[in-house]
Amino acid sequence: MNSVDVSNELHQLLSGNNVQTQLSVPQLVEKVLSRNEGVLTSTGAVKAETGKYTGRSPKDKYIVDEASVKDKVDWGSVNQPISEEVFNKLYNKVVDYLKAKEEIFVFKGFAGADETSRLPIQVVNEYAWHNLFAHTLFIRPNEEELRGHESEFTILSAPNFKADPEVDGTQSETFIIVSFERRTILIGGTEYAGEMKKSIFSIMNYLLPEAGILPMHCSANVGREGDVALFFGLSGTGKTTLSADTNRKLIGDDEHGWSSNGVFNIEGGCYAKTINLSREKEPQIFDAIRFGAVLENVVVDPETREANYDDSSLTENTRAAYQMQAIDNIVNPSIAGHPNTIIFLTADASGVLPPISKLSKEQAMFHFLSGYTSKLAGTERGVTSPEATFSTCFGSPFLPLPATRYAEMLGDKIDEHSAKVYLVNTGWTGGAYGTGSRMKLAYTRAMVQAALEGELANIETIKDDIFGLDIPLHVPGVPDEVLQPIKTWADPAAYKQTATALAAQFRANFKKFGNVPSEIEELGGPTA
């Protein structure tokens, strides 16, 4: 099957009588309820469950090994190759499966708020609630844009179609396969809606660098003076909490591009974790969960229809998807200028990284490539004590190209726009997890605010002798002794032993980047 055959098959699928295209939010909600795919909560949000898959399936994610991408993709455990033959056979099966459904649902929209670089996409779904999710997470076209819409990438999502590994050449019943030549993403065997969101992000991570645009797994906001800030960080580091600032407008909470024009949101909505969510802690997210929003795997009282965000009986990974417009304090459209400040967030459970430090360009590239944080007990099966984890560029599962390509682009952007970069530790102080305590949120907010307002640009610093980091000696609203981790530990010798061990983990992890300029490793990393 060649690309023309694929186009013909898709055309036949989308011209069928069972196709429901571009339904409105009320229409989709009605479909969800009439098909018993979910329930309506007391706030008007749709609640659905994803069955046994309550998160992504990274081991079932593939890229088709095609001539045009063979020498570009960073093949390995993240970007697993699969043959064109396997893709073609599964494609035919999925198309035939969807053709036989009584109804399928199609959303047409965009990835990327910047009209000069956005990607027209279409999402074909077996489930109405999945189509509502796509309607919520991606950028909706206006009437004029819809009339001229020509999709350049298509998602075919068939959760109830399960692969037979022995026949279909997959590792399990689940598959998420990207074909860049066929401009198609096949998803089957999983009901977890986040696979659609992250698949589009993955292809943007391939396509945008070709256009000279840096794709980024980060949140972004803008101040009253137009100053732009980026927040990079893995789960549990405070990315969403710290970027949601009443004094700054949100550009987006998860996926962005940095072009010659500035920063833009790749998405049209937010996909927030909701475990232990409350209006007191995160009012913007709490109040955004209203009609048209989608709740995944959140326990809902059958009588009152109220969501219980503290109940993790289905999963810890409960989620809410909602449109950006559900938040009052946003930039609309989601476009802003070049970043003035870049914040790398880490939650260091060993308690040895400074709560804030200034980074040179070389250090920024080192810590960007490292993507360090601590994985806490209970976050994954088998994790019984905190573990150091390194996720390249703070988003390794979604990077088709070699990591150094993204780091080099970031370094060039930092140079070109004189962006200030800071490493902020939202983790432990006064000792490791179990002995010390979590850094006070008020202190972290004060440090971030000082960084954003330029108060740390010329402040006196001291060089950390293990990690080589420049630590500010004073930050408004933060006790001086908190700024230097060794001063918060009761036993300085224990601090040095723990810090030296973490520094060794950084160096060991960095060895996997074989083609990094020596100055990045020598000037950016911990000392030997």
Cα 223–Cα 227–Cα 231 angle in degrees, nearest 5: 80
Residue 217 known to bind ligand: yes
CATH number belonging to domain 214-259+338-524: 3.90.228.20
Residue 190 known to bind ligand: no
Q: Where are the alpha helices (DSSP H) in 423-484?
A: 441-452, 480-483
- CA–CA gap between residue 418 and residue 432 (Å, rounded): 35
Catalytic one of 197, 217, 248, 375:
217
> Which DSSP category does 202 fall into?
H
235 catalytically annotated: yes
Print pLDDT tens along the chain (528 aa): 444 455 778 888 888 889 999 999 999 999 999 999 999 999 999 999 999 999 999 999 999 999 999 999 999 999 999 999 999 999 999 999 999 999 999 999 999 999 999 999 999 999 999 999 999 999 999 999 999 999 999 999 999 999 999 999 999 999 999 999 999 999 999 999 999 999 999 999 999 999 999 999 999 999 999 999 999 998 888 888 888 888 999 999 999 999 999 999 999 999 998 999 999 988 889 999 999 999 999 999 999 999 999 999 999 899 999 999 999 899 999 999 999 999 999 999 999 999 999 999 999 999 999 999 997 643 444 444 678 899 999 999 999 999 999 999 999 999 999 999 999 999 999 999 999 999 999 999 999 999 999 999 899 999 999 999 999 999 999 999 999 999 999 999 999 999 999 999 999 999 898 778 888 877 788 876
Catalytic one of 198, 249, 358, 375:
198
Residue 395 known to bind ligand: no
391 catalytically annotated: no
Q: For residues 156-169, b (16+ Cβ closer than 10 Å) or e, as one string?
A: bbbbebbbeeeeeb
> Which DSSP category does 205 fall into?
H
Strands 184-188 vs 175-179: parallel, antiparallel or unpaired: antiparallel
Reading the block at residue 145, the tokens are 């844009």
Full 3-state SS string of 43-71: CCCEEECCCCCCCCCHHHEEEECCCCCCC
Q: Are 472 and 459 in contact (CB under 8 A)?
A: yes
pLDDT at site 376:
64
Catalytic one of 235, 315, 379, 461:
235
Residue 381 known to bind ligand: no
370 catalytically annotated: no
224 catalytically annotated: no
Q: Which amino acid is at 523?
A: L
Residue 237 known to bind ligand: yes
Q: What is the dihedral of CA 94, 70, 395, 364, to 10 degrees?
A: -170
Could you tell me where in the chain the CATH 3.40.449.10 domains are found?
Answer: 3-37+56-210
- CA–CA gap between residue 416 and residue 38 (Å, rounded): 49
Strands 19-21 vs 104-111: parallel, antiparallel or unpaired: parallel
pLDDT at site 337:
97
pLDDT at site 15:
86
Longest dimension (CA), the chain: 73
Could you tell me where in the chain the CATH 3.90.228.20 domains are found?
Answer: 214-259+338-524
The string of DSSP letters for 63-132 reads EE--TTTTTTS--SSSSEEE-HHHHHHHHHHHHHHHHTSS-EEEEEEEE-S-TTT-EEEEEEESSHHHHH
> Which DSSP category does 460 fall into?
-
Residue 427 known to bind ligand: no
Residue 240 known to bind ligand: yes
- CA–CA gap between residue 497 and residue 518 (Å, rounded): 26
Nearest residue to 366 via CA among 503, 495, 253 = 503
- CA–CA gap between residue 480 and residue 373 (Å, rounded): 24
Residue 250 known to bind ligand: no
Q: Are 345 and 495 in contact (CB under 8 A)?
A: no
Give the CATH number of domain 3-37+56-210; options: 3.40.449.10, 3.40.50.720, 3.40.50.2000, 3.20.20.450. Answer: 3.40.449.10
Centroid of chain to Cα 65:
25
Centroid of chain to Cα 470:
28
Residue 416 known to bind ligand: no
Residue 192 known to bind ligand: yes
Q: Where are the alpha helices (DSSP H) in 245-300?
A: 283-288
Could you tell me where in the chain the CATH 2.170.8.10 domains are found?
Answer: 270-325
Element (H, E) at 340: strand 339-346
Nearest residue to 239 via CA among 321, 342, 354 = 342
CATH architecture of the domain 270-325 equals Beta Complex (2.170)
Residue 238 known to bind ligand: yes
Catalytic one of 184, 202, 240, 404:
240
pLDDT at site 379:
42
Phi, psi of 200 (to 5 degrees): -65, -40
Q: Are 101 and 20 in contact (CB under 8 A)?
A: no
338 catalytically annotated: no
pLDDT at site 443:
97
Catalytic one of 65, 227, 245, 254:
254
- CA–CA gap between residue 4 and residue 42 (Å, rounded): 48
217 catalytically annotated: yes
Catalytic one of 31, 47, 197, 319:
319
56 catalytically annotated: yes
Residue 41 known to bind ligand: no
Other Cβ atoms less than 10 A from the Cβ of 294: the count is: 29
Q: Are 324 and 332 in contact (CB under 8 A)?
A: yes
pLDDT at site 516:
84
- CA–CA gap between residue 74 and residue 77 (Å, rounded): 10
Q: Is the dihedral of CA 188, 189, 194, 199 positive or negative?
A: negative
346 catalytically annotated: no
Query: What residues does 299 pair with on adjacent strands?
Result: 308
> Percentages helix, strand, coil for the chain, rounded to the nearest 5?
30, 25, 45
Catalytic one of 182, 239, 248, 249:
239
Residue 312 CA: distances (Å) to CA of 39, 202, 378: 18, 29, 12
3-state SS class at 24: coil
